[in-house]
């Protein structure tokens, strides 16, 4: 009996530890927009800086470095919501995938050295390239959505095998681009609507001495209660 109680207690403690180890998912809206379901890239912000004449390996390197830049921006901008673990997952990616990231940066350096007139100009072009990537993920209005998606991608990269950064980036880059556009609450329509009110004519010709509308002079009363139109005709004619 004692062994059974001890086993049950150990099981409960283990279950609690497992529950604590799993990060909570930030819930900014009752229902989030499904950015993963976006299939068409039309009207989405460009994320990957184009590299004319690049090889397949260099394009993969650009994809990896673009994702790194996006998660770096998220690590800095999304700390207002600690449950997303954007800074923790970003630092873990730098440690776990250091070889793949270094190889990607080397390939990018080789590309700019190849397409630039001089080595110095190639280094300058590489620096400008890295700077431009960060500006592509700057968002204010869609910050909640970008942070949530970036947190999810960082979590996936954390548990992905090494040498798989390009695979994850390729699979989720379109989702990340979509998150840069503000979508907001999907369960309810929270948009502010413009209400229009039609005012009746206020000139004296439209009203009799008892402040009753003269529909024979100015047409149907725009504020008349349905079913009462024409009730004032007799009063109007009598007056």
In the predicted model, is pLDDT for residue 169 greater than 60? yes
On whether the CB atoms of residues 78 and 84 are closer than 8 A, the answer is yes
Q: How confident is the model at residue 202 (pLDDT cuts 50, 70, 90)?
A: confident
The whole-number average pLDDT for the span 177-187 is: 79
Co-location of 146 and 227 in the same domain? no
The whole-number average pLDDT for the span 56-65 is: 93
Co-location of 74 and 166 in the same domain? yes
Q: How confident is the model at residue 236 (pLDDT cuts 50, 70, 90)?
A: very low
Helix (H, G, I), strand (E, B) or coil at 23: coil
- The residue from 162, 178, 194 where one domain ends is 178
The overall average pLDDT reported for the chain is 80
| Alpha carbon distances (Å) from 135 to 51, 93, 159 | 17, 21, 28
Co-location of 170 and 210 in the same domain? no
Domain that holds residue 220: 204-238
| Alpha carbon distances (Å) from 108 to 54, 188, 193 | 9, 45, 49
The whole-number average pLDDT for the span 97-124 is: 93
| Alpha carbon distances (Å) from 205 to 133, 136, 199, 210, 231 | 68, 63, 16, 13, 18
Co-location of 29 and 130 in the same domain? yes
Residues 51 and 111: their CA atoms lie apart, in Å, by 8
User: Is 187 part of a structural domain of the chain?
Assistant: no
Task: Please choose, from the candidates 144, 153, 152, 190, the residue with its C-alpha nearest in 3D space to the C-alpha of residue 28.
Answer: 144
User: Is 91 part of a structural domain of the chain?
Assistant: yes
Task: Please choose, from the candidates 15, 155, 135, 27, the residue with its C-alpha nearest in 3D space to the C-alpha of residue 85.
Answer: 155
Position 20 scores a pLDDT of 39
């Amino acid at each position: 009996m004692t062994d059974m109680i001890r086993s049950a207690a150990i099981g409960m403690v283990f279950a609690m530890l497992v529950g604590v180890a799993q990060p909570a998912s930030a819930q900014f809206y009752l229902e989030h927009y499904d950015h993963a379901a976006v299939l068409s890239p039309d009207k989405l912000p460009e994320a990957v800086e184009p590299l004319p004449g690049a090889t397949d390996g260099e394009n993969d390197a650009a994809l990896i470095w673009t994702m790194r830049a996006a998660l770096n921006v998220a690590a800095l901008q999304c700390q207002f919501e600690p449950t997303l673990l954007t800074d923790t997952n970003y630092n873990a990616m730098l440690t776990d995938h250091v070889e793949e990231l270094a190889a990607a940066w080397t390939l990018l350096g080789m590309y700019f050295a190849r397409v630039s007139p001089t080595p110095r100009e190639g280094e300058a072009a590489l620096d400008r390239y890295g700077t431009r990537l960060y500006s592509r993920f700057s968002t204010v209005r869609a910050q909640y959505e970008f942070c949530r998606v970036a947190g999810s991608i960082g979590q996936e990269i954390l548990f992905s095998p090494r040498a798989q950064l390009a695979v994850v980036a390729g699979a989720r880059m379109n989702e990340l681009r979509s998150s840069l556009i503000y979508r907001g609450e999907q369960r309810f329509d929270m948009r502010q609507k413009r209400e229009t009110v039609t005012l009746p004519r206020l000139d004296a010709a439209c009203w009799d001495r008892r402040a009753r509308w003269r529909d024979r002079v100015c047409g149907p009363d725009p504020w008349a209660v349905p079913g009462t139109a024409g009730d004032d005709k007799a009063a109007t004619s009598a007056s």
